[in-house]
Amino acid sequence: MPPLWSPSPARVAASQLTEFQQWLQTRDDLKRGRQDDGYAALHEWSVTERALFWSAIWDYCEVRGDKGSVVLVDGDRMPGAQFFPDARLNFAENLLKHRDDRLVICAVTEPGIEQRLTARQLYAQVSRCAQAMKAAGVSRGDRVAGFMANIPEAIIVSLAAASMGAVWSSCSPDFGVQGVIDRFGQIEPTMFVAVSGYDYGGKYHDCQPRLKEIVAGLPTLTTVVYVPGFDEFLAPFAPGEIEFERLPFNHPLYILYSSGTTGVPKCIVHGHGGTLLQHLKEHRLQADVRPGDRVFHFTTCGWMMWNWLVSALASEATIVLYDGSPFSPEGTRLFDLVDALGVTLFGTSAKFIDAVHKAGLRPIETHQLSTMRTITSTGSPLSPESFDFVYSAIKHDVHLASISGGTDIVSCFVGGQPNGPVWRGEIQGAGLGMAVDVWNCDGCPVVGESGELVCTVPFPSMPVGFWNDADGTKYHAAYFDRFQGVWCHGDWAERTAHDGFVIHGRSDATLNPGGVRIGTAEIYRQVEQLPEILESLAIGQQWADDERIVLFVRLREGDTLDDELRGKVARQIRSKTSPRHVPAKIIHVTDLPRTKSGKLVELAVRNVVHGRAVTNAEALANPEALELFRDLEALRN
């Protein structure tokens, strides 16, 4: 079959990836990087000549700071490689390069309130906030925690913290008390900034009762600021020059958290330099973000895609924030934003695209979407049918970039390639500088069969480490115990004949009936084609000295899971995959548990089914849904 989409010659010629390749040819010191053979050759150079490549990214993107004379030390050690060990830079300085009247933030809330900030206004607000924080005693190395909606104040405080070398960590205001304390309690913040409430799904949600308990549970706090009083916090201070502290490359910038569904969340520390370089590369070269573009991603402050979105300021783009439900008042809300604000990159989740499809919407017929050049999709695997839907019902001429990486690297391992074709159901390829492969259980590369997603050489956005893990034991166990000296990401994946990738699910959630490993996404993408099925979740249940597949389904209103529908589901799976994929049990439930960022939690459901404790239900958006899976009569025979 032909690709679903290929860029026009004019589009290829105008892309920043093409400009970068041409720029390489002008540099005598990078002649080994002259790439006339396309993306594959450029990628090969980027992972074999890592010092040259990452130095080129620094120069091409005009990073502000002192690069130093050394780019890479111990480049074959993972972990242990050191990028730019002599460098000094500041993340915030690189996002606040301009102080003019260009629009840099456009924020919209669910009730329709719109706020716009120019580069001059953002710089002034960050300046005032940094002064206020210093006056409150915040200094280099201190942790600043945010319980924040996706609003400009979150960006202002995070950049003010970064400017002085303090460390920002955030979660969204839908977290419960224990979920917040489980995260922020580990990092002992000195300052806490929070919204008192937020709008979602047509309702106002008051956070104040929870905030009292949260503040009481964080004894290290010396300063607490609520967004309704944010202007008062800044009021004593006039805008001025920001004193950006030039910091080591790996100085902590962000602390992000693992999902926490199997225990207390891991606190993952990311540095100024690695985060900046990786995001510049991804925005400019992999997503073709250009100066003046308008970049949107539907996210909350509790998901790493918020950090990724904020970094688009370094590429001189305007970032578009939306805080609220994507289906309020109806499913066209986000597409309305594209037309109203001229969005060029539209970022969303695979679940959102599937939900738009299930709702019978066809934005291609109701919206212009003329400015939208790129759609990025992440959060879970994007099914082949969703690829079809994007091109048939959203926009014909658009770069659909399915991307995958995670909180662990605050970026992507695999993703878009704007100069190349999009093949149905496939992520286009590995990111530049990322030596991504798929290995079988014996540690051998495989193509066309499933295995572990690995990265075989170091890259700058590897975590600086885990908080409170001085000897690196937890960090090593998380990624390097499976294959010595190789990052094993925990995704069950497949490399395709096009050198693309398909993610089949998390390795720890793979099914294993009869000793055959099956990715859950292989089942979901078949079942959810059926109009009666809104969503599904599969687990392996221990049964008769083996494992059997159990499939839980959430149905469209008015439908019933009878023998006819069960047979239809089984036939769909059998005909499209294999007999081994067919569930032994298909059970109807009214809800499926998910994380705050919308990911299904197969492991938590598996624990409930087997009578094991779920140690951190606070990490879930809807923990009450777990009770639907407890002591089910249907699973006793």
Phi, then psi, of 452 in degrees rounded to 5? -85, 135
Break the chain into its structural domains and give their ranges: 91-245, 510-635
Helix pair 177-187, 208-216: axis angle to 10 deg = 30
Q: How far apart are CA 180 and CA 182, in angstroms?
A: 5
**pLDDT (0 to 100) of residue 581:** 92
State percent of the chain over pLDDT 90.
87
State percent of the chain over pLDDT 70.
98
Element (H, E) at 526: helix 520-527
Q: Would you place residue 506 in the very low, low, confident or very high pLDDT band (cuts 50, 70, 90)?
A: confident
Choice among 439-448, 459-468, 504-513 with the minimum mean pLDDT: 504-513
| Distance from the Cα of residue 272 to its chain's centroid | 18
Q: How far apart are CA 301 and CA 121, in angstroms?
A: 22
Token digits for 91? Answer: 């993340």
Q: What is the mean pLDDT of residues 139-143?
A: 98
Q: What is the mean pLDDT of residues 348-368?
A: 95
Helices (H) and strands (E) in the chain, counts: 20, 31
pLDDT at 165 over 90: yes
Nearest-5° angle of CA 187, CA 190, CA 192?
A: 95
Which residues, other chains included, contact 14 with Cβ-Cβ below 8 Å and sequence gap of 6+? none
Q: How far apart are CA 362 and CA 347, in angstroms?
A: 18
Q: Would you place residue 619 in the very low, low, confident or very high pLDDT band (cuts 50, 70, 90)?
A: confident
602, 551, 536, 542: which is closest to 581 by C-alpha? 551
Q: Does residue 438 or residue 25 have the better pLDDT? A: 438
Q: Does residue 35 or residue 599 have the better pLDDT? A: 599
Choice among 297-306, 362-371, 541-550 with the minimum mean pLDDT: 541-550
State the average pLDDT for the chain.
95
**Looking at the domain that runs over 91-245, which CATH code has it been given?**
3.40.50.980
Which residues, other chains included, contact 473 with Cβ-Cβ below 8 Å and sequence gap of 6+? none
Instruction: Tell me the one-letter amino acid at 279.
Output: H
Instruction: Say if CB 446 and CB 439 are below 8 A apart.
Output: yes
Q: Would you place residue 36 in the very low, low, confident or very high pLDDT band (cuts 50, 70, 90)?
A: low
Answer yes or no: CATH 3.30.300.30 is held by domain 510-635: yes
Q: How far is CA 486 from CA 44, 174, 479, 513, 563, in A?
A: 18, 36, 8, 28, 47
Q: Which long-range contacts (CB under 8 A, 24 or more apart) does 556-560 make?
A: 556/358, 556/531, 556/532, 559/532, 560/588
Query: pLDDT tens for residues 191-229?
Result: 999 999 999 999 999 999 999 999 999 999 999 999 999
Q: Would you place residue 261 in the very low, low, confident or very high pLDDT band (cuts 50, 70, 90)?
A: low
Choice among 72-86, 228-242, 555-569, 607-621 with the minimum mean pLDDT: 607-621
Q: How far apart are CA 39 and CA 288, in angstroms?
A: 14
435, 432, 431, 437: which is closest to 453 by C-alpha? 437
pLDDT at 102 over 80: yes
Count the alpha carbons within 13 Å of 66 in the hemisphere toward its beta carbon.
10
Q: What is the mean pLDDT of residues 95-124?
A: 97
Q: What is the mean pLDDT of residues 358-377?
A: 97
Size of the chain, expressed as the number of residues it contains: 637
Q: Would you place residue 65 in the very low, low, confident or very high pLDDT band (cuts 50, 70, 90)?
A: very high
Q: Would you place residue 32 in the very low, low, confident or very high pLDDT band (cuts 50, 70, 90)?
A: low
Q: What is the mean pLDDT of residues 295-314?
A: 97
**pLDDT (0 to 100) of residue 23:** 93
| Distance from the Cα of residue 330 to its chain's centroid | 25
Reduce the secondary structure of 256-273 to three states and give it as a string: EECCCCCCCCCEEEEEHH
Token digits for 414? Answer: 């695999």
636, 635, 637, 601: which is closest to 618 by C-alpha? 601
pLDDT at 617 over 90: no
pLDDT at 459 over 70: yes
